[in-house]
């Protein structure tokens, strides 16, 4: 019996709608969102960004997971890894009996035809999907449409003889999946750069060349197997992990463009350089809304709510922190008291990551809440942050302000 792959749900959306709403929605947030995006209680006014929380792709992935559990109540259901980067959501799915293949003791090689495997919104590497199909598993594919568009772009780069340069985090599920798409074309090659500093290293080689072996040792596993910088950096196409900071991706694209002009000349640029902005619209909308909030309101504090390993949430915190005192928290439990807040310091690394993986350093800051006078607090959440988490943060902030 061939493997079944579901990519458009399981016709149970209405059957699970009430359960999804109960787990993730907030009447308080709905009321604020449908009025002035402002909540006032006593001396505190909390301003909600115009865009925050679940994007379409996240909503869809969670909905499919709930449909899957309902459709296959007597079969083992697995997620390849976290469905999105939010601990509350992943905890709910674990409670529903969905197992995570990324957990210790789980073994994807042992799955058979009885297994139902959910692919996360980030997608999975080509070889991983092929394995599940080969083993006869039923596959529920929740890969986000924005990610699929990136895949289409990088496959076209490869087909046209361009090496794909991905602005992203080499460890991230989405970046690994995107990189694997380039290798579906025989001559496909890729290189991942985390930030401006790494991009400059590559640009220097484009301009001046160098000792290939030493250069490859420097970039490590960020390059595809058999990568030859003298051959593979002659023609490049730039893409990005969809949740990266847009301004960073555009800057990195410009760095590569100028390097190609310096090496080959402006007239010949199109033969050596391509770029396509693959940032998802929801990520951009949330970034724009957060910047509008901190620029238009005189805020005492800003809170960004979401998982510490959520790329788009970390980027929101980084942007806000450049303008106002900002705390990145996971949920209301991080608001320990009017005297203490647990948070991931925004200054910890570039977007809280290294090239090898996420850093979840958490700090405790005291005396964070101003004690007297009117208080203005801004609030936003990443694309993987549920409404009810935001609602609890609002209630806790109001309570603390009233008693501080």
- Categorize the per-residue pLDDT at 354 as very low, low, confident or very high, splitting at 50, 70 and 90: very low
Predicted local distance difference test score (pLDDT) of residue 404: 74
The sheet with strand 236-240 has its strands ordered as 190-193, 163-167, 236-240, 273-275
- Which comes out higher in pLDDT, residue 277 or 104? 104
Concatenate the DSSP letters of all residues of 9-54 into one string. Answer: --S-HHHHHHHHHHHH--HHHHHHHTTTSEEEETTEEEEE-SS-S-
Predicted local distance difference test score (pLDDT) of residue 360: 57
The matching CATH number, chosen from 3.30.1050.10, 3.30.70.270, 3.40.1010.20, 3.60.150.10, for 24-55+281-403 is 3.40.1010.20
Look up residue 346 and give its two tokens. Answer: 């925004």
The closest of 302, 280, 313 to 85, measured between CA atoms, is 313
Locate the domains of the chain by residue range.
24-55+281-403, 57-144, 146-275
Predicted local distance difference test score (pLDDT) of residue 140: 98
Report the share of the chain in percent with pLDDT over 70.
96
Q: What is the mean pLDDT of residues 267-271?
A: 96
- Categorize the per-residue pLDDT at 3 as very low, low, confident or very high, splitting at 50, 70 and 90: confident
CB 317 within 8 A of CB 294: no
Supply the mean pLDDT for the chain: 94
Predicted local distance difference test score (pLDDT) of residue 136: 97
Residues noted as catalytic:
174
Concatenate the DSSP letters of all residues of 259-312 into one string. Answer: HHHHHH-GGGGGGTEEE-----HHHHHHHHHHHHHHHHS--SEEEEES-TT-HH
CA 377, CA 156: separation in Å to the nearest integer? Answer: 45
Burial (0-12, 13-18, 19+ Cβ within 10 Å), 244:
buried
pLDDT at 214 over 80: yes
Range scoring the smallest mean pLDDT among 298-312, 342-356, 386-400:
342-356
Concatenate the DSSP letters of all residues of 185-205 into one string. Answer: STT--EEEE-SHHHHHHHHHH
Q: What is the mean pLDDT of residues 65-86?
A: 97
Predicted TM-score (pTM) of this structure: 0.92
Predicted local distance difference test score (pLDDT) of residue 2: 64
Predicted local distance difference test score (pLDDT) of residue 21: 97
Three-class SS state of 344: strand
CB 206 within 8 A of CB 199: no
CA 130, CA 281: separation in Å to the nearest integer? Answer: 29
Please state the φ and ψ torsions of residue 279, each to the nearest 5 degrees.
Answer: -65, 135
State the fold for domain 146-275. Cobalt-precorrin-4 Transmethylase; domain 1 (3.40.1010)
E-strand ranges in 301-349 read 301-305, 326-329, 340-343
pLDDT at 350 over 50: no
20-37 pLDDT per residue, tens: 999 999 999 999 999 999
283-321 pLDDT per residue, tens: 999 999 999 999 999 999 999 999 999 999 999 999 999
CA 251, CA 129: separation in Å to the nearest integer? Answer: 33
Arch. (CATH architecture) of 57-144: 3-Layer(aba) Sandwich (3.40)
Domain 57-144 matches domain 146-275 at the CATH topology level = no
pLDDT at 401 over 60: yes
CB 107 within 8 A of CB 132: no
CA 104, CA 120: separation in Å to the nearest integer? Answer: 18
Between the alpha carbon of residue 123 and those of residues 42, 43, 158, the distances in Å are 45, 45, 19
pLDDT at 106 over 70: yes
Q: Which residues contact 220 (CB under 8 A, 6 or more apart)?
A: 355
């Amino acid at each position: 019996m061939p493997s079944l792959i579901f990519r458009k749900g399981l016709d149970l959306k209405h059957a699970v709608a009430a359960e999804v709403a109960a787990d993730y929605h907030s009447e308080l947030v709905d009321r604020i969102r449908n009025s002035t995006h402002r909540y006032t209680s006593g001396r505190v006014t909390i301003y909600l960004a115009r865009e925050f929380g679940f994007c379409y792709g996240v909503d869809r992935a969670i909905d499919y997971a709930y449909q899957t559990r309902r459709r296959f109540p007597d079969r083992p259901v697995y997620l390849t890894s976290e469905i999105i980067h939010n601990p509350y959501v992943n905890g709910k799915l674990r409670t529903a009996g969905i197992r995570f293949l990324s957990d210790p003791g789980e073994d994807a090689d042992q799955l058979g035809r009885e297994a139902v495997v959910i692919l996360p919104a980030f997608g999975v590497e080509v070889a991983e999907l092929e394995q599940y199909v080969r083993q006869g598993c039923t596959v529920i594919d929740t890969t986000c449409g924005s990610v699929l568009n990136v895949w289409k772009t990088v496959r076209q780069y490869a087909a046209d003889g361009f090496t794909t340069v991905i602005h992203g985090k080499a460890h991230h599920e989405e970046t690994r999946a995107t990189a694997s798409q380039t290798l579906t074309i025989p001559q496909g090659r890729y290189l991942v750069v985390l930030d401006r500093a790494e991009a400059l290293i590559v640009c220097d080689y484009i301009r001046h060349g160098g000792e290939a072996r030493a250069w490859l040792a420097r970039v490590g596993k960020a390059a595809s197997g058999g990568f030859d910088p003298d051959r593979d950096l002659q023609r490049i196409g730039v893409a990005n992990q969809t949740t990266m900071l847009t301004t960073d991706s555009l800057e990195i694209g410009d760095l590569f463009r100028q390097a190609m002009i310096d090496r080959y000349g402006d007239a010949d640029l199109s033969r050596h350089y391509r770029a396509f902005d693959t940032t998802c619209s929801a990520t951009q909308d949330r970034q724009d809304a957060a910047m509008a909030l901190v620029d238009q309101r005189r805020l005492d504090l800003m809170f960004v709510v979401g998982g510490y390993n959520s790329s788009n949430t970390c980027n929101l915190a980084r942007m806000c922190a450049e303008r106002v005192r900002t705390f990145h928290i996971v949920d209301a439990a991080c608001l320990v008291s009017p005297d203490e807040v647990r948070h991931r310091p925004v200054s910890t690394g570039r977007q809280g990551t290294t090239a090898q993986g996420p850093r979840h350093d958490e700090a405790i800051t005291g005396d964070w809440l101003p004690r007297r006078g009117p208080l203005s607090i801004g609030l936003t959440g990443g694309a993987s942050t549920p409404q009810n988490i935001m609602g609890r943060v609002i209630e806790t902030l109001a309570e603390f302000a009233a008693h501080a």
